[in-house]
Each structure stands twice: as structure tokens, then as C-alpha cells.
């Protein structure tokens, strides 16, 4: 349906929160969840995944939580989305479980691949530094 998963939405929201509050050290999943009314357990999973992918760093224990692993301008929406949902591919032509049966005869996969490239480009040009710039614009607009 060409929609981001809720997990990806939550991830974007959380990373942006960590960007906004990065001067205050770590923020817990609990705090972020409360702020945006996201189920805390689920959000924790999402954040753990972002740690695994090297986008965030975590701190255990009281006063622990999450913080950005690098400056906000080096974290893109694509980074977050693909960390959570896997690679951005709008078609089902090929997945980890092989190709779809249409692939050999498919006359539209090449154009769709180009559309896909455009989407990837738009998402990767959108960093969190960018997002919080009040006068931001997407690149190449």
C-alpha cells in the first residue's frame, strides 16, 4: 500500500526527539513514549534496532536511555526507515525469498526501479538536522 510501518513512523519520531534534546544527554524509551503516546514496549524494540544499526547509542540503568550515535546531519530518514523496515523497495520483484513469477515477463520493473531510486534519493537527502531547520527544503526542488 506504499505506506511506512508504524514502527518506522515511531522511529522517525523518536530519532527526531533525540535530535531536539541531544544537549540533555540520554532520553529513555519511557519518556519518548509518553511524549508521543507511543506504546513503550514497542518503541523500546524500535530503539534497540536503531542501536544495532549504529544510529543510536544506549545506556543501561537508572538515568539511562538513548542518544544519537552521530551528528544529526549524518542521520537520514532513509537510515531510520531501512533500519526498521528493511531496504526500501516498492516492488515485490525480488525479496529474500526469491523473485516473483512475473519478473521474467515484466515490462514495468525498470521504470519502477527508477521511481524507487527517486524515493530513496528523497529520503536519504532528508537528514534530521534538515528536518529541524525551519526553512528546510528537500534537495533538488
Partner DNA sequence: GAATATAGGACTGGAGAGGTCGCATATGCT
Partner DNA sequence: AGCATATGCGACCTCTCCAGTCCTATATTC
40 near a second copy, judged by CB under 8 A? no
Q: How far apart are CA 1 and CA 124, in angstroms?
A: 21
**Residue 45, contacted partner among a second copy, DNA, none, CB below 5-8 A by kind:** DNA
22 near a second copy, judged by CB under 8 A? no
Which is nearest to 29 in space by CA: 43, 11, 15, 13? 43
Q: Which residues bind DNA (CB under 7 A)?
A: 1, 5-7, 28-30, 39, 41-42, 44-45, 47-48, 51-52, 58-66, 92
**Residue 135, contacted partner among a second copy, DNA, none, CB below 5-8 A by kind:** none
**Residue 139, contacted partner among a second copy, DNA, none, CB below 5-8 A by kind:** none
Which is nearest to 31 in space by CA: 125, 21, 7? 21
**Residue 24, contacted partner among a second copy, DNA, none, CB below 5-8 A by kind:** none
Instruction: For residue 56, give every residue at least 6 positions away whose Cβ sits within 8 Å of its Cβ, in sequence order, or none.
Output: 15, 18, 47, 50, 66, 67, 68, 69
Shorter beta-carbon distance to DNA: residue 31 or 121: 31
Amino acid at each position: 500500500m506504499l505506506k511506512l510501518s508504524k514502527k518506522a513512523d515511531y522511529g522517525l519520531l523518536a530519532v527526531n526527539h533525540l535530535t531536539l534534546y541531544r544537549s540533555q544527554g540520554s532520553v529513555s524509551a519511557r519518556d519518548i513514549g509518553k511524549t508521543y503516546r507511543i506504546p513503550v514496549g514497542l518503541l523500546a524494540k524500535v530503539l534497540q534496532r536503531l542501536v544495532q544499526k549504529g544510529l543510536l547509542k544506549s545506556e543501561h540503568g537508572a538515568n539511562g536511555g538513548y542518544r544519537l550515535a552521530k551528528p544529526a546531519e549524518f542521520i537520514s530518514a532513509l537510515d531510520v526507515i531501512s533500519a526498521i523496515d528493511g531496504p526500501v523497495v516498492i516492488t515485490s520483484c525480488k525479496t529474500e525469498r526469491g523473485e516473483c513469477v512475473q519478473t521474467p515477463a515484466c515490462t514495468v520493473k525498470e521504470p519502477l526501479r527508477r521511481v524507487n531510486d527517486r524515493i530513496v534519493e528523497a529520503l536519504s537527502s532528508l537528514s534530521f538536522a534538515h528536518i529541524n531547520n525551519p526553512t528546510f527544503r528537500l534537495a533538488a526542488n
